[in-house]
């Protein structure tokens, strides 16, 4: 498949998996929508952009976004993930700016800005979760696209874990640019060459970003990496050249990409043998997001069937829902676990610290722990 940025045919596959189309908890009535699909990720050897080379059909993606249940920081889940972004927003955004959050989800960042005096706020999302009535923030239920209109020029777009969902890097940038004030900016966060799954169509990294800035009149005014994410501020209309990376550094990156397949296989084998080694003991499997679904889908059905797994989550809205590829209903951690001894704990989310704090607050003790590695 050609590179979705530079059209090069010099591309190579670095990861293949089979995972369900839905990577989140679902209601029983949606069970017929869940299907496994092959997943494949490739690297462009010219511009170093990673991309989903077996994207789901559009109707499948639409179904996913119409029923999207992303993390809900307003319910206290996954808030640590936003600390760095909150710091950057307070520093980079003026209180009178017109700020539009594309893919605002439950409006967590908008409500945070509102709490700090920002009033000129708007959110756009195909399935927004409404904010509490105390917040006077407009949230539109729509996809950001060609037909999106604004009454005035936008000062800042926020694109938090959204850029990787578009099929090409440039189209959404151009659309935002057409609505931006001349001095306007885009504040973004996205996975740093990670998060390989059906919904993510592009896998960015600093090498590709430099190439983008060289080709286009785009400048990166601020850049930081934290854990698995890149956070930056982008402006248009100016070209600023930054020193190129050393050839050997880019080569090392290329090589590391082609080791992802092995790493993924090793993680899968390790998880399967761990589950097998606990065949006779109850397992508390914590987490019902994408990490959890991808991990469950890697375990052969016959092993899953005989394992004694209870899936729990601290998000009460997930209680009673189902996970693709798993039979039992999700239980609410606070009810199921309070005061108990957890013989075996599988942490199937990247929020380990928050989970362990929650467990301590519930007065639970833990025998052994296994952390799922996110591939
Ligand atoms: Zn390319």
Q: What is the pLDDT of residues 300-320, one digit of tens each?
A: 999 999 999 999 999 888 999
Q: Are residues 230 and 330 in the same domain?
A: no
Examine the fold and report which residue of 220, 245, 270 is the final residue of a domain before the chain moves on.
Answer: 245
Taking the CA atoms of 147, 149, 153 and 155 in sequence, report the sign of the dihedral they define.
negative
Examine the fold and report which residue of 201, 222, 245 is the final residue of a domain before the chain moves on.
Answer: 245
Q: Are 40 and 13 in contact (CB under 8 A)?
A: yes
Is 333 exposed, middle or buried (CB count within 10 Å of its CB: 0-12, 13-18, 19+)?
buried
Mutual orientation of helices 108-115 and 83-92 as an angle, nearest 10°?
50
- The residues placing their C-beta within 5 Å of ligand 1, an ion, are 3, 5-6, 8, 44, 46-47
pTM (whole model) above 0.75:
yes
Q: How far is the CA of 278 from the centre of ligand 1 (A)?
A: 45
CATH of the domain at 297: 3.40.50
What is the average pLDDT score of the chain? 92
Q: How far is the CA of 211 from the centre of ligand 1 (A)?
A: 9
Q: Are residues 85 and 231 in the same domain?
A: yes
Considering the domain boundaries, does residue 172 fall inside one?
yes
- Is residue 61 pLDDT above 90, yes or no? no
Give me the pLDDT at residue 279, please.
86
Q: How far is the CA of 151 from the centre of ligand 1 (A)?
A: 36
Q: How far is the CA of 8 from the centre of ligand 1 (A)?
A: 5
Q: Are 207 and 245 in contact (CB under 8 A)?
A: yes
17, β-bridge pairs:
39
Q: Are residues 90 and 204 in the same domain?
A: yes
Q: How far is the CA of 15 from the centre of ligand 1 (A)?
A: 17
HSE of 85 in the Cβ direction (CA atoms, 13 Å)?
A: 24
CATH of the domain at 183: 3.40.50.150
| Model confidence band, residue 9 (pLDDT cutoffs 50, 70, 90) | very high
Q: Are residues 305 and 163 in the same domain?
A: no
Domain limits at 322?
260-371
Average pLDDT over residues 89-93: 96
Considering the domain boundaries, does residue 9 fall inside one?
no
Q: How far is the CA of 48 from the centre of ligand 1 (A)?
A: 6
Is 300 exposed, middle or buried (CB count within 10 Å of its CB: 0-12, 13-18, 19+)?
exposed
Give me the pLDDT at residue 202, please.
98
């Amino acid at each position: 498949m050609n590179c979705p940025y530079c059209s090069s045919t010099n591309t190579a596959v670095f990861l293949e998996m089979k995972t369900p189309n839905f990577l989140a908890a679902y209601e029983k009535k949606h069970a017929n929508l869940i299907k496994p699909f092959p997943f494949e990720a490739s690297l462009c050897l010219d511009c170093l952009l990673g991309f989903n080379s077996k994207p789901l059909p559009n109707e499948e993606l639409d179904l996913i976004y119409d029923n999207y249940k992303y993390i809900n920081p307003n319910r206290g889940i996954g808030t640590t993930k936003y600390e760095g972004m909150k710091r950057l927003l307070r520093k980079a955004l003026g209180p009178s700016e017109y700020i539009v959050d594309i893919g605002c989800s439950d409006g967590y960042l908008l409500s945070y800005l509102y709490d700090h005096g920002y009033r000129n706020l708007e959110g756009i999302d195909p399935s927004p979760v409404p904010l509490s009535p105390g917040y006077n923030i407009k949230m539109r239920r729509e996809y950001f696209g060609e037909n999106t209109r604004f009454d005035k020029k936008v000062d800042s777009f926020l694109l938090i874990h959204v850029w990787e969902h578009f099929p090409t890097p440039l189209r959404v940038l151009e659309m935002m640019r057409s609505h931006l004030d001349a001095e306007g900016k885009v504040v973004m966060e996205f996975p740093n060459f990670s998060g390989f799954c059906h919904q993510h169509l592009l896998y960015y990294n600093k090498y590709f970003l430099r190439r983008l800035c060289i080709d286009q009149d785009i400048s990166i005014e601020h850049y930081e990496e934290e854990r698995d994410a890149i956070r930056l501020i982008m402006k248009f209309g100016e070209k600023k050249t930054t020193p190129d990376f050393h050839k050997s550094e880019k080569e090392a990156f290329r090589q590391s990409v082609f080791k992802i397949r092995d790493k993924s296989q090793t993680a899968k084998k390790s998880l399967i043998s761990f589950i097998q080694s606990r065949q006779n003991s109850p397992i508390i499997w914590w987490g019902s997001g994408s990490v959890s679904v991808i991990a469950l889908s890697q375990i052969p059905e016959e092993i899953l069937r005989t394992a004694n797994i209870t899936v729990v989550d601290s998000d009460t809205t997930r209680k009673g829902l189902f996970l693709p590829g798993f039979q039992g209903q999700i239980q609410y951690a606070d009810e199921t676990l309070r005061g108990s001894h957890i013989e075996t704990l599988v942490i199937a989310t990247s929020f380990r610290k928050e989970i362990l704090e929650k467990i301590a607050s519930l007065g639970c003790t833990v025998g052994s722990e296994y952390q799922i590695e996110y591939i």
